Chains A and B, each alone.
Chain A
């Protein structure tokens, strides 16, 4: 069974630009969550999508947005990039967005903002 895939794996952008990251969940998983990982803050929750609807959102500015398609694939977008947005962005999928179901992570997209 294929795992969570994320594209691209590495990205270098300039301040002020915008970026779109993609995530394909494990087959049959309908919930997709996004996290930002930095050395200082660790893993922080961005948002969760289930059946094309945002169910939950973390404490990030509106520059961070996402969406989910009917096939459960998800994208996140960051507009007006800042140096502090440099991080590993991780996507995780689970069977549902409720209960204690395990979340399985992809390899991440390493974003560097210069």
Chain B
């Protein structure tokens, strides 16, 4: 069964304290891995797509990396405005979940000034 697990569930950082969020996945075949950010009461906001192991994407203080079993979202020198829930999702090739996104439960990040 295709599955996505995110850790930790919650993370509290001080402003400027860098850290990483983890997303491990089990899929029959990976078509793509997606990172989203979700603020309370809003829909998920697209951040990155990664397609193959070794790929990296960067945007401001965020950097996403991908291996064959997991992805990391690195946050460098975070600011309070980076506080949100970060969601990881995979899109599988073939099988019963083809085409749709399978989401992890998310990591709730809080950055204190």
Contacts and interface: CB of A to CB of B under 8 A. Distances in A.
Interface residues on A, range: 20 to 34
Contacts of B42: 107-108
Contacts of B99: 48, 55-56, 97-98
B87 A43 contact: yes
Interface in B33-83: 34, 36, 42-46, 49, 51
Q: Which applies to chain A's interface (DSSP): helix, strand, loop or mixed?
A: strand
A33 B101 contact: yes
Contact of A56 (B45, B51, B98): B98
Interface string A34-61: 0100000011110010000001101000
B10 to A, nearest CB: 13
Interface of B: 31-32, 34, 36, 42-46, 49, 51, 87, 89, 91, 97-106
